[in-house]
Amino acid sequence: MTDTLNRRKFLKGSALAATATAGALAAPAVARAEPVVLKMQAAWGGGIFLENAKSYVDRVHAMAGDALKIDLLAVNAVVKTSQMQDAVHRGVLDAAHYVPAYWYSKSKAASLFGTGPCFGWSSQEVLGWVHYGGGQELFDELMGSLGLNVVSYFNSPMPAQPLGWFKEHITDASQMKGLKYRTVGLAADVLLEMGMSVVQLPGGEIQPAMKSGLIDAAEFNNPTSDRDFGMQDVSKDYHLASFHQSQEFFEVTFNKDKHNSLPAELQAILKHASEAENSNFYWHNTKRYADDLVKLRDQQGVNVHRTPDSVMVEQLKAWDIVVDRLSGEDAFFAKVIDSQKTYAKNVMNYLNLNQPDYKLAYNHYFG
């Protein structure tokens, strides 16, 4: 009797397995949808900023899986850096990774989104203003007034940019007058106000220009990029700290039609991957900058100086003149400035009262 029951179970199981196999063979193959592919050009040909662009792209891929792919292209792959925003607007590119200072010639107010005056805040707080102080809405208003068919997200709060590389140790603001200096954005207006002669050059042209004597001094952004450019080969005096570009971050911009045609969940991924990259950038880049500054000093004979207060005080005075002039010429510029001041006054009041003096603690332990 037991053998009969076991035989029946075996035959029943075999029949079910055969039926399942036949069903599987008969079922039609389900075609997978092809991923949406976005063509994004970066303003960087290599170095740490291209790594940062790739990090953003990697986060999008990790979140989107097979649904969305970004084809990241290096600088000048399709258009020149100065043409990137127009290329995204027209749909020649789907996206770009750069900074607003690279297209601020269309509107001085663009430079306020990352390379504006310092109201006692850092890049972290300016991004706070973008997300929670009305900055994003003002940027979208600017895009509308310029008729630009783009959507932008901001990420990666950069440490203050060094004053840069000089052919002598700058100990007083008077030494700055008449020097031919490279910078970009509104910083050019500020340093012109201080009596400098300003040349706006892309990153890759800075070192050759200083080597040939076209410029006397220059800044780009950070010790890692400066070291990659070989600035230590044309100057041995490197000045850290400045108000000319004391808060900046990346802009990741998308063609608005392409962006809005994506499913809502993919739009959310593009946005939230940008926000996630904020922390990664700060942790990753700050360590690299610190390491490369030590290499510049200890291995390559660079004299690292703290920019004197007299220079920074004159920068603030120059900012006042530039901001007052441009606010009088452009009501939207004035509107953005007022919004930033309101946010900075409130937030920095809390932070300044609450933050301990970290330099005091640093000196206690490390001298």
Q: Half-sphere exposure of residue 175, counting CA atoms within 13 Å on the CB side?
A: 14
Query: 238 versus 17: which is more confidently predicted?
Result: 238
Residue 148 pLDDT level (bands cut at 50, 70, 90): very high
The distance from CA 179 to its chain's CA centroid, rounded to whole angstroms, is: 28
Instruction: Provide the pLDDT for residue 203.
Output: 80
Instruction: Provide the pLDDT for residue 32.
Output: 60
CATH numbers and ranges of domains, the chain: 36-158+247-287 (3.40.190.170), 164-246+301-351 (3.40.190.10)
Residue type, 34: E
Task: Using alpha carbons, select from 235, 221, 222 the residue that is nearest to residue 179.
Answer: 235
Each residue's pLDDT tens digit, 121-145: 999 999 999 999 999 999 999 999 9
Each residue's pLDDT tens digit, 296-306: 999 999 999 99
Task: Give me the mean pLDDT over the 331-355 stretch.
Answer: 98
Task: Give me the mean pLDDT over the 180-206 stretch.
Answer: 90
Looking at the predicted structure, is the pLDDT value of residue 71 above 80? Answer: yes
Instruction: Provide the pLDDT for residue 26.
Output: 47
Alpha-carbon Rg for the chain, nearest whole angstrom, is 27
Task: Give me the mean pLDDT over the 267-278 stretch.
Answer: 96
SS3 category, 218: strand
Instruction: Provide the pLDDT for residue 8.
Output: 44
* pTM value surpassing 0.85: yes
Looking at the predicted structure, is the pLDDT value of residue 287 above 50? Answer: yes
- Strand pairing report for 95-98 and 36-42: parallel
Each residue's pLDDT tens digit, 23-42: 444 445 445 678 999 999 99
Query: First CA to last CA across the chain, in angstroms?
Result: 91
Which pair of tokens denotes residue 185? 């954005």
Residue 56 pLDDT level (bands cut at 50, 70, 90): very high
Instruction: Provide the pLDDT for residue 340.
Output: 98
Instruction: Provide the pLDDT for residue 9.
Output: 42
Query: 116 versus 1: which is more confidently predicted?
Result: 116
- Average pLDDT value over all residues in the chain: 91
Phi then psi for residue 331, to 5 deg, are -65, -35
User: Considering only 14-23, 103-112, 147-156, which range has the smallest mean pLDDT?
Assistant: 14-23
Query: 104 versus 343: which is more confidently predicted?
Result: 343
Each residue's pLDDT tens digit, 351-360: 999 999 999 9
CA atoms of 221 and 154, how far apart (whole Å): 17
CA atoms of 138 and 76, how far apart (whole Å): 30
Phi then psi for residue 288, to 5 deg, are -65, -45
Looking at the predicted structure, is the pLDDT value of residue 229 above 60? Answer: yes
Run of H or E residues at 19: helix 2-26
User: Considering only 27-36, 269-278, 331-340, which range has the smallest mean pLDDT?
Assistant: 27-36
Do residues 165 and 210 lie in contact, with contact meaning Cβ atoms separated by under 8 Å?
Answer: yes
Q: Using CB atoms within 10 Å of the CB of residue 162, give its burial: 0 to 12 exposed, 13 to 18 middle, 19+ buried.
A: buried
Which pair of tokens denotes residue 104? 């601020």
